[in-house]
Each structure stands twice: as C-alpha cells, then as structure tokens.
C-alpha cells in the first residue's frame, strides 16, 4: 500500500496538469490509493475572488479516470474544501451536489484576510503571530465541528510560512487548544492529515510536525491520512514513504485509506 490523498489538477487555480495525467503519474509512482482534491475555498467561491472550481467538469473527469484505471489504482474523487466555517451553507451545497469519496477540510486564510502565505511574518511581532496562529486553530476547530470532512488538512499551514520567514514558534502556549482540537477529532472519528509537501520541498518537517503528531498520539489519536499536496506530476507520491517512517517513529502503525466507500486502516 502506498497512498497520496492530497493532490491538485488543472481544475485548481494554482495547478495545470489534467486529471488523467495526474492519475497516470500516480500509477507510475507505484501508488495503490490516490486522491484528486482540487481547491474549493468557500469564501473565494462565494465572492468570486478567483475563477470558481468547475465542480461538475472535474467530477466527470475524476469519475472517468476512476473507471478507466480500476484494477490498477484506487482513485478517490476528492475536494479540498477550504475555510468551510466562513460559509458553511455553501460548503453543504458543494457536498450535496456530488458524492465525494474524500473531502479535506482546510484553513488557508482567516476570515476577511488573505492567504496565510501572503503575510510578511518578519514584520509581524511574535505575540501577533501567535494571535494569528491561535485564530487558525479556532478555525480548524470550527471545521471539525462542522464535521462533513474525511480528514483535517495541514493544520499548521501558517507555521510553514512562519518557518519560511526563518522564524520559530513555540507550541507550548497552544497545547491546551491543540488537545481540544485533537479531542474533537477523536470524538467525531475524523482523521488528521500528515501533509508531506514541506518534506519534498526540503523544509525538513511535515504539517503537522513531530511534536504535534506525538501530542495527537498522547491524546489518543490514531487516525491519519497522508498527502503530498502535489500541484504537478513530479511530486505525486514524493516523500510518502518518508512520511510513513516519521509517523511510525511517533508510535502510529497505520494510515487511513478509503476503499469502496469505506474507510480502512492500512498497516505501514
């Protein structure tokens, strides 16, 4: 078993490889389980801040690929539903329109703010950075409470950009809130994503990183998904094995995949 449950095709605003080509790359990478999860950030969709995701067209292409490559690879027709709590009714509309095999719930920006990647963290005082990250955790908690997701994506998305700005962040002040988030995930039976894009980008850590994975484990968390967040063919499946090794070293022995509509735990 080798899985990559977070990738983007040309239907995402920031990627340009067709669905079928991404699926062929997944087969070539030796994956057994693979998800296409194009961006659908609800606030961007509702306010038309960028071209909307053509949900019907990508659904058709994902369905065609799923059928075409049946027996070679298990393709999940997914979506990365961003910032759900800003417009939960719209999120419902998206999820009611197509029976997605796999839904990632993600925070990319705080309400009314630009993407977390666009801040100049060097110019933001440490206390303010902590305030912003705390807000991100609240948004993640809101997404888990919303509930209609298969996994909670890259919970430390903002931290990635803080690190890229050559800054550090102490997670001790967030311990209680993280435990609340992890407790909710466990209560709602929702897995957490280990996003390895930061590993193949050479940053040397996953999202979330070891410290948080160990905390999740100590809270009783057992369910993880793994994805590369690839936006092009060359990174499909990249660093998944390294991600598995990290997960194992944190005390986990399996990851979640979905087969025939059912979530199953596969040993790693």
The yes or no reply on residue 156 touching Zn ion (CB under 5 A) is no
Among positions 214-233, residues that touch Zn ion (CB under 5 A) are 229
Burial letters 227-246, b for 16+ CB under 10 A, else e: bbbbbebebbbbbbeebbeb
Among residues 74, 83, 85, 106, which is the contact residue for Zn ion, using CB under 5 A? 106
Asked whether the bond before 208 is cis by omega within 30 degrees of 0, the reply is yes
Binding segment toward Zn ion, per CB under 5 A, in 68-76, 87-95, 103-111, 236-244: 103-111
Residue 226, beta-bridge partner list: 194
Count of chain residues binding Zn ion (CB under 5 A):
3
CB of 225 to Zn ion, least distance (A): 12
A 10 A CB-CB count for 50 gives 12
Is there a contact between 215 and 254 (Cβ–Cβ < 8 Å)?
no
Is there a contact between 162 and 196 (Cβ–Cβ < 8 Å)?
no
Task: Specify the residue, 101 or 229, whose C-beta has the smaller distance to Zn ion.
Answer: 229
Task: Specify the residue, 106 or 225, whose C-beta has the smaller distance to Zn ion.
Answer: 106
Binding segment toward Zn ion, per CB under 5 A, in 105-113, 127-135, 216-224, 234-242: 105-113
| Contacts to Zn ion by CB under 5 A | 80, 106, 229
């Amino acid at each position: 078993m080798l899985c990559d449950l977070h990738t983007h095709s040309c239907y995402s605003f920031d990627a340009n490889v067709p669905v079928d080509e991404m699926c062929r790359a997944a087969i070539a990478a030796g994956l057994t389980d693979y998800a296409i999860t194009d961006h659908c950030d609800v606030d961007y969709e509702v306010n038309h801040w960028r071209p909307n995701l053509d949900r019907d067209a990508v659904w058709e292409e994902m369905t065609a690929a799923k059928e075409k490559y049946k027996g070679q690879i298990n393709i999940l027709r997914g979506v990365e539903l961003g910032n759900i709590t800003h417009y939960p009714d719209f999120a419902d509309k998206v999820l009611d329109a197509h029976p997605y095999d796999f839904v990632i719930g993600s925070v990319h920006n705080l309400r009314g703010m630009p993407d977390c990647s666009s801040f100049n963290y060097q110019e933001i005082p440490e206390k303010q950075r902590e305030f912003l990250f705390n807000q991100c955790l609240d948004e993640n908690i809101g997404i888990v409470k919303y509930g209609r997701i298969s996994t909670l994506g890259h919970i430390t998305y903002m931290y990635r950009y803080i690190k890229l700005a050559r800054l550090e962040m102490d997670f001790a002040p967030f311990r209680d809130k993280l435990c609340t988030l992890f407790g909710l995930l466990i209560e709602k039976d929702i897995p957490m994503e280990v996003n390895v894009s930061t590993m193949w980008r050479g940053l040397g850590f996953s999202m979330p990183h070891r410290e948080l994975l160990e905390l999740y484990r100590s809270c009783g968390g057992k369910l993880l998904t793994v994805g590369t967040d690839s936006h092009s063919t060359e990174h499909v499946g990249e660093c998944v094995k390294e991600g598995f090794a990290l997960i194992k070293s944190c005390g986990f022995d399996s990851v979640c995949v979905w087969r025939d509509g059912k979530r199953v735990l596969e040993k790693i």
